Amino acid sequence: MKIYALNSFNATLENIASDKSISHRLAIFSLLTKDTCKIKNYLKAQDTLHTLKVIALLGAEVKEESGCIYITAPNKIHSPNQILDCGNSGTLMRLLIGFLSSIEDGFFVLSGDCYLNARPMKRISQPLQSINAKIYGRNDANLAPICIEGAKLEGFNYKSNIASAQVKTAMILAALNAKSESFFEEIELSRNHSEIILTKMGAKIEKLNNLATKFKISPVKEKLKAFDICVPNDPSSAFYFAVAACILPNSKVVLKNVLLNKTRIEAFKILEKMGAKISYIQTNNDYESIGEICVESSTLQAISVSENIAWLIDEVPALAIAFACAKGTSVIKNAKELRVKESDRIKAVVENLQKCNITAREFEDGFEVDGGIANSAKIESFGDHRIAMSFLILGLRCGMEIDDSECIKTSFPNFIDILKQIGAKIGD
């Protein structure tokens, strides 16, 4: 796919991809409820459609009516007679490992595509195995296919040495069906959608410190309350167009119905520190803070980023595009987690920036970028949707060719349509 340079744009965007993290979680959490759940604006991307197929195989009744998804949980989770296909979604596989490990008398096999089956799962399987979960897989249950024999698990006291919302949610799901109370702590606060949503559904998750990094989870004695939720738009998807507005002169974008949870808009805050003109208006605060974000073209200055990395890990490839267009040398550190995403994103970002005549240097836990004038190049996406989308945004300045853009459909199926909506010219 080729994209050609665009002079400027002015747009209001309402059709940004729905939030992927929340869509995954709502579908899985519906299995804990006693009545039918209703989800409006559910993300219909490859990753989240796999989630709906998986919960249906586990016994849920899934219907779509008038653009809404209705899910009715089974009385008992089924052991399906086929593999649970997680596609490319690490979130789905990791959350399922936590949830299914505690289903007594269940037997489940999880697998995915070649990229997912090469991603590490031990960060989930190992702590669960320590509380008697029966999890098997390649490389000591580190690589899928993963087999799970469900069992009644012990309560636990676990401290995670990484800030990972996937690890946290997997452990919470296991704890909700454990024999006794469990305690979980992480080194810093990761995305907190699971705690927020599950607590409002009736789960007892008690914060034990002011930072909300340590809490107690009580086992669920009866099924949780069903929900009726409209999924907000994904800030990590909206962020691509925020970067586009910053790096193209005389440009402005208004991003509507965006999730404003503080653990999800850190990348926007980094852009502000670089000199971007950004404003926020809250419009709803039922389950989560939701509103609109306005971004205008700006002269960006280099920055060093080493804190709250868990809050912007998905946006780092797009942030690297802002670095490439800023004045000076920008650095991101403490981001080793980038090496185990859909691709090794540190390697992918640095190699592709270098192809564009931007000086970039790779570290074990991050990279350094000298802002400059980017050239058009042929970019390798490594099958990673966020790499592909980020370099298409850089292409708005100088033109770009992406070798595999099909991967974009895993998270943002109408991304190309929105690029065309703001005036971009796309070719094969």
Active-site residue numbers? 314
Would you say 264 is a known binding-site residue?
no
Per the CB < 8 A criterion, the answer to whether 219 and 181 are in contact is yes
Cα 50 to Cα 84, 167, 246, 362: the distances in Å are 9, 20, 34, 34
- What b/e string do you get for 339-370 counting C-beta neighbours within 10 Å, with b at 16 or more? eebbbbbbebbbbbbebbebebeeeeebbbbb
Would you say 18 is a known binding-site residue?
no
Would you say 282 is a known binding-site residue?
no
Would you say 223 is a known binding-site residue?
no
Would you say 399 is a known binding-site residue?
no
- What b/e string do you get for 292-306 counting C-beta neighbours within 10 Å, with b at 16 or more? bbbbbbbebebbebe
Q: Which residues pair with 177 in a beta bridge?
A: none
Would you say 191 is a known binding-site residue?
no
Would you say 21 is a known binding-site residue?
yes
- What's the DSSP call for residue 129? H
Instruction: Give dist(CA 352, CA 356) in Å, integer.
Output: 7
Would you say 341 is a known binding-site residue?
yes
Cα Rg, the chain, nearest whole Å: 21
Would you say 94 is a known binding-site residue?
no
Would you say 35 is a known binding-site residue?
no
Distance between alpha carbon 179 and the CA centroid of its chain, in Å? 31
Q: ∠176-179-181 over CA atoms, to 5°?
A: 65
Written as six digits, the tokens of 128 are: 């669960």
Would you say 397 is a known binding-site residue?
no
Instruction: Give dist(CA 319, CA 297) in Å, integer.
Output: 15
Q: What residue numbers does the annotated binding site for 3-phosphoshikimate cover?
A: 20-21, 25, 164, 166, 314, 341
Q: What residue numbers does the annotated binding site cover?
A: 20-21, 25, 90, 119, 164, 166, 314, 341, 345, 386
Q: What residue numbers does the annotated binding site for phosphoenolpyruvate cover?
A: 20, 90, 119, 166, 345, 386
